[in-house]
Amino acid sequence: MRPVHVEGVYAYVGELPPGCRYCVRGVKLVVFVTGLCDDRCFYCPVSRIKLGRDVVFADEEPARSLSDILEEAFRIGAEGASITGGDPLIALRRSVAVVRLLKLHGGPGFHVHLYTTGRYATSEALRALEDAGLDEIRFHVRGPEGLRAVEKAVRVRRDMRVGVEVPVAPDSVEELKRLLVELDRIGVDFVNLNELEVSPDNYESIVMRGYRVRGFVVEGSYEAALELVAWASSRLRRLSVHFCPARFKDRVQTRARLLRKAVRTRMCFEAVRPDGSVATMVVRGGAGLLDECCGLDLGSAVAVSPLCPEARGRAVELQPTASRLSDLARAAAVG
C-alpha cells in the first residue's frame, strides 16, 4: 500500500504533478487559448461568453496579441502557465506559439502545461507542442477515443509528462476505477480528480441528470474522489492520483493569484484586500482634492480622509484587472 498524502485540503498518492505545484502557489498564468471545442460535456464549466468562440484570454484579461499574454505574465510575476480552452489543439498553431513565447521569455524553468480533449492529438501535434517546450499535457478523457490519444502521447513523448484530468461524478466511482487501472497500464504519469463544480452555465444540465447541488459543487463528488484516492493507494502500483477539491481552487489557488497580482499592480491610491481585490476611493469634488485624500480609511463603504475631512466618497472594490481604471471611471460617473 502506498501512503496517501494530505496537504491542506488536497490529497494524493504518489507525487503531486509538477504543474499543480505551481498552481497551489498561485504563480501560474491561465491562458485561455480558444473557446472552440467539439465536445459537449454536460458539466462543462466554461462560461458561455467564451465557449464556442475563438477568443483568447490571459487570466481575466482579453488578449489581442501574444504581447498581451506576455504582459499579463509579467503583471502577476508568473513562474508558469496553464493553457486551456475549449480545446487548445483546435488552435494548434496559436497554442504552439504561446508555449514557445512563454518558454522563450520565462526560461526553461518556466513550467507550461496544456489541457486537451485529445480529439486532435496527432503525433505531429504532440511533437510540435513538445518541441516548443511544453512540459506537461493533460487529457480530458471521455471514452475509448480519448484513451487512444493518451496512449499515443505516452508513446511519442520524449520528456513531456502525460496526465489525465477528470471530474468525479458521485455515481462514476466504478467506471473511474476501471479508467485508473487502464491508465496505470498505459504508463500515464498522473491523474487529477476534480470535484464536480456547478456554475450558472452548467447548473441546469447537472440538475437534469439528477445530481444534487450543495453550494457550488455536486453533492457526493468530494467523498467519491477521496474514495478513489484511497482505493488507488492499495490497488495501483505506479500511477499518481491527485484530488483537487473545488474549495481549494477557489480559496487557495485563485486567491493566491489575485493577491499576487494585486500586490504587484497596486497603484498608490489603492489598498489590497486579503481576498486579492483592490479597494479604492471614488471622491467627487474635483481633481484638486486627490492630493489631499491620501491616508483614506477604506474600511467602510463611505470613507473619510483624516487629512481632508470634507473629502467624502465611496469605497469601491475591484478585481486587480488591468481594465479596472475604466471600471473606476464608470463608478465615478455614476457617483
Q: Which residues bind ligand SF4 (CB under 6 A)?
A: 37, 39-41, 44, 46, 85-87, 117, 140
* Shortest spacing between CB 267 and ligand SF4, in angstroms: 35
Residues 292 and 308: beta-carbon distance below 8 Å: yes
User: How far is it, in rounded angstroms, from Cα 79 to Cα 73?
Assistant: 8
* Shortest spacing between CB 54 and ligand SF4, in angstroms: 13
Alpha helices in the chain (DSSP H): 18-24, 66-76, 92-106, 123-132, 144-156, 173-186, 203-208, 221-235, 246-248, 255-265, 324-334
Q: Which is nearer to ligand SF4, 34 or 233 (CB)?
A: 34
Strand partners, 54: none
Question: What is the C-alpha radius of gyration for the chain, rounded to an integer number of angstroms?
Answer: 22
* Shortest spacing between CB 55 and ligand SF4, in angstroms: 13
Q: Which is nearer to ligand SF4, 89 or 99 (CB)?
A: 89
Strand partners, 120: none
DSSP readout, 18-59?
HHHHHHHTT-EEEEEEE---S---TT--S-TTTTTS---EET
* Shortest spacing between CB 201 and ligand SF4, in angstroms: 9
Q: Which is nearer to ligand SF4, 15 or 38 (CB)?
A: 38
* Shortest spacing between CB 65 and ligand SF4, in angstroms: 23
Q: Which is nearer to ligand SF4, 80 or 85 (CB)?
A: 85
Q: Which is nearer to ligand SF4, 37 or 76 (CB)?
A: 37
Q: Residue 269 in 3-state DSSP?
A: coil
